[in-house]
Amino acid sequence: MQLRFALTFFLLVVAAATARAQDQWIAARQQMVRDIESLTVETASATGRKALDAKVMAAMAKVPRHLFVPTGQQPYGYENRPLPIGYGQTISQPYIVALMTDLMRVKPGDVTLEIGTGSGYQAAILSELVKEVYTIEIIEPLGKRAEQQLVQLGYRNVAVKIADGYYGWPERGPFDAIIVTAAASYIPPPLVKQLKPGGRMVIPVGASFLTQYLMLVEKQPDGSVVSRQLLPVSFVPLTGRH
């Protein structure tokens, strides 16, 4: 009887501790969302967005960012800044993730492509908003780890490929929207080709250690392309044979 009581008490203590931890993460995500909203207002003159789409913000409030960073970084998981994830790569600043996702203007039936899986966090955000997410990572250990984490967290509509993202994923295209989470020195022509007419691509463009700009690329119904420079950013470089 004493053993049963002790076991029950132990389980109650564990459950209470788990609940407190979950409450802390929820509060941290809510604060992160408020930080994103404030930065959105501050940068509205550059982006043209005074407020981000409510569905995007709901995804930001739901996806557990702390589970996409190394254990030692989890206490900082909801701070509005990039965090290291190994192999010289980072998980992007939450505001930038939200802004880039918003600029894609995705719809529930869309098929999207991400270049630079990294931690898998951006793919998870998109997973909440679209029909299918195809994501490419050139660093195999990162891609495998992200794929495993996405599966464990129940994101079933995400496919991960280990490859050079510069060339895209033509057999799965064309795509309604494309997001590139590493800085290219120019907009990759293979990605433009894989974008549907009426589609959008969001990509940082610029050289390493020099000014980079977030670019919005829109393919018109007639196949012509219009690009617009938005605001200065800082991303790790897009790597590969190109």
Active site residues: 92
**Paired strand residues for 178:** 113, 201
Beta bridge partners of 186: none
User: Three-class SS of residue 5?
Assistant: helix
One-letter amino acid for residue 225 of the chain: V
- Considering Cα of 24, then 101, then 108, then 173, what sign does the dihedral take? negative
Q: Please choose, from the candidates 222, 226, 229, the residue with its C-alpha nearest in 3D space to the C-alpha of residue 203.
A: 229
Distance CA(74)–CA(65), nearest Å, equals: 8
- Residue 113 CB contacts under 8 Å (≥ 6 apart), including other chains: 133, 134, 135, 136, 168, 169, 172, 173, 175, 177, 178, 179, 191, 194
